[in-house]
Amino acid sequence: MRLIVGLGNPGARYERNRHNVGFMAVDEIVRRHGFGPYRGKFQGAIAEGAIGGSRVYALKPQTYMNASGEAVGEAARFYKIAPEEIAVLHDEIDLAPGKLRVKRGGGAAGHNGIRSIDSVVGEDYWRARIGIGHPGAKELVQPYVLQNFTVEETGWLGPLLGAVAEALPLLVGDDAAGFMTRVALILRPPPRARAAEESKD
């Protein structure tokens, strides 16, 4: 049994914000793997499905970002899911746009949603960090993450979310390195396109 959590803020106002990329990733996972409909439970929206032979719950906390741990803790306790069986997908300003990094454990690195989860379930869970880039100055971070993705950014966003959903069985099987490699291979342009790009250099 696994719990896949996407972080974001509830409501139409925040739907396309950079800070909500975790919600977007979970929505694509639910769609791609044919999960059941979302239900309101555990202060969140939760859907159930199967990936790679494992029962998987997909959760979008509806508590607002800073209290994400409340929903995660309730779901984990109810289903008796250990921290190492939880994967959280979230935005990361210290990664270049479209980059993906996964690790188990670690600090919050200033992310309030991660800090909230750490305080409830501890730090020993998987974190899939989706790069959204940094605005360049600390005081610009909050308005930047609460802005919608630009038209240009949607060019990499859709393919990345699709690749994350397609490769997820590897992460469900605790193969983080394989998961990241698979995502990179899915996103890699075909040889002819690569050759055309290289010829421009």
- Indicate if the pLDDT at residue 76 is higher than 90: yes
168 in Cβ contact with 33 (< 8 Å): yes
Q: Which two tokens stand for residue 74?
A: 């309730």
Angle at 174 between CA 168 and CA 7, to 5 degrees: 55
Structural domain count of the chain: 1
- Indicate if the pLDDT at residue 170 is higher than 80: yes
- Indicate if the pLDDT at residue 201 is higher than 70: no
Annotation marks residue 134 as catalytic: no
C-alpha 50/C-alpha 102 separation (Å) is 21
3 in Cβ contact with 81 (< 8 Å): yes
- CATH for 48: 3.40.50.1470
Catalytic residue of the set 19, 33, 90, 111:
19
Q: What is the pLDDT of residue 42?
A: 97
Average pLDDT, the chain: 94
28 in Cβ contact with 58 (< 8 Å): no
Per residue in 35-67, pLDDT tens? 999 999 999 999 999 998 899 999 999 999 999
Strand partners, 45: 40, 60
Average pLDDT over residues 119-143: 96
Average pLDDT over residues 153-169: 97
Domain extent for 93: 2-200
Q: CA dist 183 to 5, 165, 167, 176, 179, Å?
A: 18, 9, 6, 11, 6
Angle at 113 between CA 55 and CA 11, to 5 degrees: 80
Phi, psi angle pair for 175, to nearest 5°? -100, 80
